[in-house]
Structure 1
Amino acid sequence: MARPRRSDHNRQPLLEAGISLLSEQGYHGTGLKQILDRVKIPKGSFYHYFDSKEQFAAEVISHYIDQYLQQLKQATDLPERAPMDRLLAAIDLSLARLEQEGLTKGCMLGNLTAEIGGQSELCTQVMLQGWTLWQGWLTQQFEEAQQRKEVRQDLTAEQMARLFWDRWQGGLLHVKLKGSTEELRNDMELMLKVILR
Structure 2
Amino acid sequence: MARPRRSDHNRQPLLEAGVTLLSEQGYHGTGLKQILDRVKIPKGSFYHYFDSKEQFAAEVIHYYIDQYVSQLKQVTDQPGLAPMERLLAVIEFTLDKLEQEGLEKGCMLGNLTAEVGGQSELCTQAMLRGWTLWQSWLTSQFEEAQQRHEVRQDLTAEQMARLFWDRWEGGLLRIKLQGSTQGFRQDMALMLKVILR
Larger CA deviation: 11-20 vs 78-87: 78-87
1:2 Cα deviation after fit:
4.5
The aligned residue for residue 131 of structure 2 is 131
Question: Would you say 1:170 and 2:173 are equivalent positions?
Answer: no
SS at match of 1:12: helix
Q: Name the residue aligned to 1:73.
A: 73
- Pairwise CA distance, 1:173: 1.7
Q: Distance in 1 between matches of 2:177 and 2:122?
A: 30
The match for 1:26 is 26
SS where residue 27 of structure 2 aligns? coil
- Deviation by residue 1:122-169 (Cα, 9 ceiling, x = unmatched): 110110011000111111110000010000000000000000010011
Tell me: CA distance 1:3–1:81, structure 2 relative to 1, closer, same or farther (3 Å): farther
Deviation at 1:70, TM superposition (A): 0.7
User: How big is the shift at 1:79?
Assistant: 3.2
2:146 aligned partner: 146
Provide the C-alpha distance between the structure 2 equivalents of 1:169 and 1:6, rounded to a whole number of angstroms.
39
- 3-state SS of paired residue (1:114): helix
Match of 1:195 in 2: 195
- Tell me the number of residue pairs that the alignment of Structure 1 and Structure 2 aligns: 197
Instruction: Give the CA deviation at 1:4.
Output: 3.7
Deviation at 1:3, TM superposition (A): 4.1
Structure 1: distance between partners of 2:129 and 2:116? 15
Normalising by structure 2, we get a TM-score of 0.98
Please list every run of 5 or more consecutive structure 2 residues that lacks an aligned counterpart in the other structure: none
Structure 1 range deviating more: 76-85 or 102-111: 76-85
1:121 maps to 121
Matched AA of 1:39: V
Residues 38-65 of structure 1: CA distance to partner in whole angstroms, max 9, x if unpaired? 0000000000100000000000000000
Considering only aligned residues, what root-mean-square deviation do their CA atoms show, in Å? 0.9
Say whether the 8 Å CA contact 2:2–2:51 is kept in structure 1: no
After superposition, the Cα gap between the structure-2 partners of 1:76 and 1:45, relative to the gap in structure 1 and judged at 3 Å, is: same
How far did residue 34 of structure 1 move? Answer: 0.1
C-alpha distance in 2 between matches for 1:4 and 1:72: 31
User: Stretches of 4+ moved more than 4 A in 1?
Assistant: none
Q: State the alpha-carbon separation in 2 of the partners of residues 3 and 184 from structure 1.
A: 42
Q: Is this contact kept in 2: 1:21–1:30, CA < 8 A?
A: yes
Query: Identical aligned pairs, as a percentage?
Result: 83
Gaps of 5+ in 1: none
Distance 1:97 1:148 in 2: 30
Q: Compute the displacement of 1:26 (Å).
A: 0.3
CA contact (8 A) 1:143 1:157 kept: yes
